[in-house]
Amino acid sequence: MDFKKLASLLILCCVAAAGATVLAQAGGPTEVVSEVGFVFNVDDETFPAGTYHFVQPNSKSLVLVMRSADGGHSAKVKILARIARGDDRASRGHVVFNLSGDEGERYLSEVWLPGQDGFLVRGTPEEHDHMTVPSR
């Protein structure tokens, strides 16, 4: 085999490997797992404290799938908007809850998957505080 053919073959292999890596990163599910130590709400549904997995099935999905580690609770959570990464916590992944109301109800509001921008899943127009739960 001459040098030009060998060089072309090596370049082709490198391009194919790089393309496969990009496709694997862009298309596969991404997940954050958090230990939520309190009762919380997703839309109109209430969930008990526990370990929860938050998964984006693929990069084009407009919903996140939330499920408890014990398999007893799950929900599909509609993504309202993407949130640009603002600090180091986003690289590790975390979830954010809005704390509002007289009884201190907690609502899932943001999900930050490791190494990505975040997802807004609930907006709260009234005054509220934020509570961040890091990934495990």
Please state the domain extents for the chain: 28-134
What one-character DSSP code corresponds to residue 70? T
Position 41 confidence tier, pLDDT thresholds 50, 70, 90: very high
Phi, psi of 10 (to 5 degrees): -65, -45
Give the residue from 85, 95, 84, 86 showing the smallest Cα distance to 42.
Answer: 95
Q: In this predicted structure, what is the pLDDT of residue 81?
A: 94
Task: For residue 12, give both structure tokens.
Answer: 């082709």
Number of C-beta neighbours around residue 118 at 10 A: 23
Output the pTM of the full model.
0.74
Q: pLDDT by residue (tens digit) across 74-123?
A: 999 999 999 987 666 556 799 999 998 777 889 999 999 988 889 999 98
The arithmetic mean of pLDDT across residues 28-37, rounded, is 89
